[in-house]
Amino acid sequence: MSGRYKATDQMSELISDDYRMLQIITRFGIKLGFGEQTIETTCRQNHVHIPTFLAVVNFTKNAGHTHINETTEQISVPQLLQYLQNSHQFFVEFRLPNIRRKLIEAVNCSSHNQVGMLTLKFYDEYAQEVSRHMEFENNHVHPFVNELLAHKLPHTSLEELGKEHSGNHASMEKSIVELKNIIIKYSPNEGNDQLLNDALMDIYMTEEDLLLHCKLEDTLFTECVRKLEREVRMQSSNETEATESDEEEQGGNVHDELSEREKEVISQVARGLSNKEIAEKMFISVNTVMTHRRNISRKLNVRSAAGLTIYAIVNGLVKLEEVEL
């Protein structure tokens, strides 16, 4: 299969086309055994946001070449964040300790074998470098994004956070290339060749996996977070202006056009969904739903669910039989 995967493609084809997709589905919480199901059905059953899933698989398939601007519009940031956290957990708790175990088995790492011992030391330093980097993202970058998702204006900015660890991706890439070279060039002959090859192949896979992980963070994820940050900063400055001249502001924006997301919120209100249910369905936070509802009220001068339902019917946002009366 070439080009881009679509929601109607079979899930099993995805995996048989490219073994790397196995890692991706696991990080989205999807288990094997999906029979003849499509990507769409499997994602729905596992509560996975389809556009976000497709964005990540297509990003991987095309080795990090994606039309980012086209994609970021549809991505669910909470879901992408969860995907990155699951990837970190995989690297730190599974992949890196696993390679270490294999290296110890394959190479004589005792103090009598200095090259073996130093290889393990180099590996440990590399693993620490990766773990430290991922910890920083878990403890600083991701909480920053969660604040934005809660529509709070954070004390720092993505740019500031980026300054603190901007060189890490390149440095991790260099370290793993060096690790491979050390093993390939200087590994002592006294170990088990097959075990060493196995460890080395895991290192190759990790290199490729980590490269794509970092690239996804540098492009797709960063673009989404930048967009979110712009929205929150703009919203916060709008709210300040609104409190200064509330009445005037409301009158001035009556003719603002509704965005597609706002129309979607109205149609869900008309279907009788609560704010919490709308948030779950649209993969956004309850706060975001409330912001949309505030903006809708301001633009339409209609606040009640009944009023919004009438608006939805008249403007064809819902069918009459879908309406909760």
272, 134, 120, 267: which is closest to 187 by C-alpha?
120
Nearer to Fe ion, 202 or 217 (CB): 217
In the complex, the smallest distance separating the C-beta of residue 172 from Fe ion, rounded to whole angstroms, is 8
Binding residues for Fe ion restricted to 200-219, rule: CB under 5 A: 217
Nearer to Fe ion, 133 or 271 (CB): 133
How far apart are alpha carbons 150 and 152 in whole angstroms?
5
In the complex, the smallest distance separating the C-beta of residue 182 from Fe ion, rounded to whole angstroms, is 24
End-to-end CA distance of the chain: 47
Binding residues for Fe ion restricted to 100-139, rule: CB under 5 A: 137
In the complex, the smallest distance separating the C-beta of residue 165 from Fe ion, rounded to whole angstroms, is 7
Nearer to Fe ion, 41 or 89 (CB): 89
Token pair of 199 as six digits: 């460890």
Binding residues for Fe ion restricted to 133-192, rule: CB under 5 A: 137
In the complex, the smallest distance separating the C-beta of residue 138 from Fe ion, rounded to whole angstroms, is 8
Nearer to Fe ion, 93 or 241 (CB): 93
Binding residues for Fe ion restricted to 225-244, rule: CB under 5 A: none
In the complex, the smallest distance separating the C-beta of residue 126 from Fe ion, rounded to whole angstroms, is 15
Query: Residues with Cβ < 8 Å from 29, sequence gap 6 or more?
Result: 46, 48, 86
In the complex, the smallest distance separating the C-beta of residue 169 from Fe ion, rounded to whole angstroms, is 6
Q: Output the 3-class SS for 162-197.
A: HHHHCCHHHHHHHHHHHHHHHHHHHCCCCCCHHHHH
Nearer to Fe ion, 17 or 217 (CB): 217
Total of chain residues touching Fe ion, rule CB under 5 A: 2
Angle at CA of residue 175, ends 173 and 181, nearest 5°: 110
206, 174, 220, 221: which is closest to 65 by C-alpha?
220
Q: Which residue has the tokens 């994820």?
A: 221
Nearer to Fe ion, 214 or 300 (CB): 214
Q: Give the residues lining the site for Fe ion (CB under 5 A).
A: 137, 217
